[in-house]
Amino acid sequence: MFKKTVAELSRALASKAVSSVELTQLFLDRISKYRDLNAFITVDPEKSLAQARAADARRAKGEAAALTGIPVAQKDIFCADGWLTTCGSKMLSSFIAPYDATAIARFSGAGAVLLGKTNMDEFAMGSSNETSHFGPVRNPWDPTTVPGGSSGGSAAAVAARLAPAATGTDTGGSIRQPAALTNLTGLKPSYGRVSRYGMIAFASSLDQGGPMTQSAEDAALLLGVMAGFDQRDSTSVDAPVPDFVAALDHPLKGLRIGLPKEYFGDGLSADVAKAVEAAIAEYRKLGAQTVEVSLPNSSLAIPCYYVLAPAEASSNLSRYDGVRYGFRAAEYKDLIDMYCKTRAQGFGAEVKRRIMIGTYALSAGYYDAYYLKAQRLRRLIAQDFEQAFEVCDVIMGPTSPTTAFKLGAKSDDPVSMYLSDIYTISVNLAGLPGLSIPAGFDGKGLPVGLQIIGRYFGEERLLNVAHQYQQATDWHRRLPKGFD
């Protein structure tokens, strides 16, 4: 039963082949069995099973929705009422959220069961899930490698089938990159599609929550619950939410796929290139056409992002001062000393690095030279995509330049770590939807991800394109050895 997709489990629940309580207990047992992956920060069986019993009662009354009774793991960046919500940081290691994030509330409204809170890079800052205060997450495909980040706990949980699905957040690739490294379908929706209310902020103009699932069909089911306007989030867009599932079966004949020449050059692993090219060839068999496009400013996405994101982080993380909530240093002389010691002791090295970079970029004398120039470049990157979409419907390429790397391999080389997101960051800067799907394996048996980028609020088409590929291939059905 644990190998089934969300869609399959939903049908099993509807036919009474299994109850939500049985299903929830099954996954709780797997979480306990494979705790060495360190995929979860918080598990509360009592709370989860209570929700499962409520879901079973709801189904008995005939009031069920598609996700009623489905256990879903939640990234520990979403506030959940009464649950420890740490954001992977010592700063919030004892913080119990007093309310639900909108995404959590919508899952609860649909009758889904909160299975637990997953591990993550501290304040979502990282590409390997090694910056967490609670220790690194291990990739089920090879426990000596990283699962990607920052949503590595969610990725590892779904990849090892400790959960049928999970949520993640994506600021520069933090859903898509770990999805690629663990053989999952990971969707970063258009900016404004999913409410950020109750989602602890890293970089407010870039952050977006989304689903991490086994298949495009599952991603469509979860996005249908997560998406929608929220008046409590000033960046939420008041746009209709389509039926993402209904669009999955449209044929791909005539689909125009743009292939950016910048995505297939230096720095791309030969094994990744081979798998991506094979996936594109499969799309041609399905009736799609390919056309070369150019994203000339994509090489500047990394420096642009690492000015803008740290600048916003510097501002957002100023609230963690030991006064109102969260960690506070035990000993201090006065208020200023408390601020300094609390932040020095409460934040990890990567978070401190980004706060310092961001504060520098926003400081007098450097604001115009760095921050404003980065904003102008962001506009040019968005214009590159607009021009490319004049001749294509979707853009495809690799999600990550390599497959999963060894734990600790890039810990002392921040720039090398940042380059892990070279193909994903520009999508966030432009606010577009992006999707990573399984596309094969390298010579070591590690997963390769194919990235599909769409027009603004084009998730319906992205999911359709992904689903049709998954109907013709079985990469997304593969499980890591030892977890099947």
CB distance 99 to 293 below 8 Å: no
Residues 6+ apart with CB under 8 A from 172: 206, 305, 309, 421, 424, 425, 428
**Burial of residue 84 (number of CB atoms within 10 Å: 0-12, 13-18, 19+):** middle
Per the annotation, the verdict on 150 as an active-site residue is yes
Catalytic residue among 89, 150, 151, 436: 150
Neighbouring-strand partners of residue 188: 434
pLDDT tens column, 321-347: 999 889 999 999 999 999 999 999 999
Q: Please identify which of the residues 174, 298, 314, 400 carries the catalytic annotation.
A: 174
- Which of the residues 10, 75, 215, 400 is marked catalytic? 75
90 is catalytic: no
Give the tens place of pLDDT for each residue, 398-415. Answer: 999 999 999 999 988 888
The pLDDT of residue 266 = 87
Residue type at position 267? G
DSSP annotation string for 338-405:
HHHHHHHHHS-HHHHHHHHHHHHHHSTTTIIIIIIHHHHHHHHHHHHHHHHTTT-SEEEEESSSSSPP
Mind listing the domains of the chain with CATH numbers?
A: 6-255+399-477 (3.90.1300.10), 299-377 (no CATH)
**What is the share, in percent, of the chain residues with pLDDT greater than 90?**
96
Q: What is the pLDDT of residue 365?
A: 86
Asked about 108 being catalytic, the answer comes back as no
pLDDT of residue 127: 96
Work out the pLDDT band at 484, boundaries 50, 70, 90.
confident
